[in-house]
Structure 1
Amino acid sequence: MVEIFLAFLGSICPGVIYNVEKRNLMWVGFGGMLGWITYRTFNEITKSLVLASFLGAVIVGIYSESVARLLKAPATIFSVPGIIPLVPGIAAYSTIQHVAENQLYEAASKGIETMSGAGAIAFGILLASAVFRLTKKLKKRGPNPS
């Protein structure tokens, strides 16, 4: 429960830094919270940082696009702070620590894991955004008269 609250706060604080309007800050926090819940759930099931990060980012992306349409705001004000709790900071720290201790194999392993997690987050947000834009474009075109 504490982790969920900290994920909520961990999304609101960057929202304040990025000058998100006060009326949207609560929604920003919920996005980070949902992403974290998804991440933790799938990390427990799969034991994969990359897959859990990807799924957490997809949920943040879907949430951000949906809330942005409801509140008539840009989706990025919800997605960027929403992914902050998912960023693999401990893995990056471990990478640098292994380099400093001259444990190069462990450093390379953690470095690849860190970069994979970061890439999975970016791809998850990208995928959710692309699906929303595609469906919006298809709705504008209307039914295909065949």
Structure 2
Amino acid sequence: MKEFLLAFIGSFTGAILFNIERYNLFWAGLCGGFAWIIYKALFEYSSRGIYATFLAAIFVGLYSEIMARRLKTPAYVFSIPGMYPLVPGIMAFDTITLLVFGKLEKGINKGIETAATAGAIAFGILLASNIYQILDKLICENFKSETKK
């Protein structure tokens, strides 16, 4: 519960920085809180950070698209603050620290892991958004064709 609340606050305050409307702040915070819970649960289950980040990012993408339709606002209003808890900031810090102190092999490995985690976030949100839009278009076309009959 504590981690959910902290992730919620992080996403909520990040949404404030982007000057998001007040009635969307709660929903943006909720996106980040749930994304963090999904990440933690999957990480504890599989011990694979990139995999857990990817699936949590898929959740962020789907949540963003659904809430964008319901609240009639752009999806990025929810996806950008929602991914804040997933961003590998401490991993990037560790990468630079290792490189500065001359531990090149460990630093390069950590850098690759950091880049892969960032890529998993981007690809997860992109994949979820595209799949949602394709399914939405197919459902709308099927609905239109059935109503013409």
Instruction: State the TM-score, normalized to the length of structure 1.
Output: 0.95
- Deviations along 1:78-123, whole A, 9 cap, x unmatched? 0011001000111111000000110001101100110000000001
Q: Aligned partners of 1:115, 1:79: CA distance in 2, in Å?
A: 19
Kept in 2: contact 1:49–1:113 (CA 8 A): no
Q: Aligned partners of 1:9, 1:57: CA distance in 2, in Å?
A: 18
Q: Aligned partners of 1:137, 1:70: CA distance in 2, in Å?
A: 16
Partner of 1:6: 6
Q: Aligned partners of 1:140, 1:71: CA distance in 2, in Å?
A: 19
Partner of 1:40: 40
Partner of 1:117: 117
Partner of 2:66: 66
Q: Aligned partners of 1:139, 1:42: CA distance in 2, in Å?
A: 31
Counterpart code for 2:68 = A
Please state how far the C-alpha of 1:64 moved relative to its aligned partner.
Answer: 0.9
Please state how far the C-alpha of 1:127 moved relative to its aligned partner.
Answer: 0.9
Unaligned stretches of 5+ in structure 1?
none
Partner of 1:138: 138
Partner of 1:93: 93
Q: Aligned partners of 1:42, 1:140: CA distance in 2, in Å?
A: 33
Across the aligned residues of Structure 1 and Structure 2, the Cα RMSD in angstroms comes to 1.4
Unaligned stretches of 5+ in structure 2?
none
Q: Aligned partners of 1:29, 1:124: CA distance in 2, in Å?
A: 19
Counterpart code for 1:5 = L
Segments of 4+ in structure 1 off by > 2 A?
A: 139-145
- Deviations along 1:115-146, whole A, 9 cap, x unmatched? 0000000011001100111012212332789x
Percent identity of paired positions between Structure 1 and Structure 2:
46
Kept in 2: contact 1:91–1:110 (CA 8 A): yes
Instruction: State the TM-score, normalized to the length of structure 2.
Output: 0.93
* Secondary structure in structure 2 of the residue aligned to 1:73: coil
Please state how far the C-alpha of 1:11 moved relative to its aligned partner.
Answer: 0.4
Q: Aligned partners of 2:100, 2:6: CA distance in 1, in Å?
A: 30
* Aligned residue pairs, count: 145
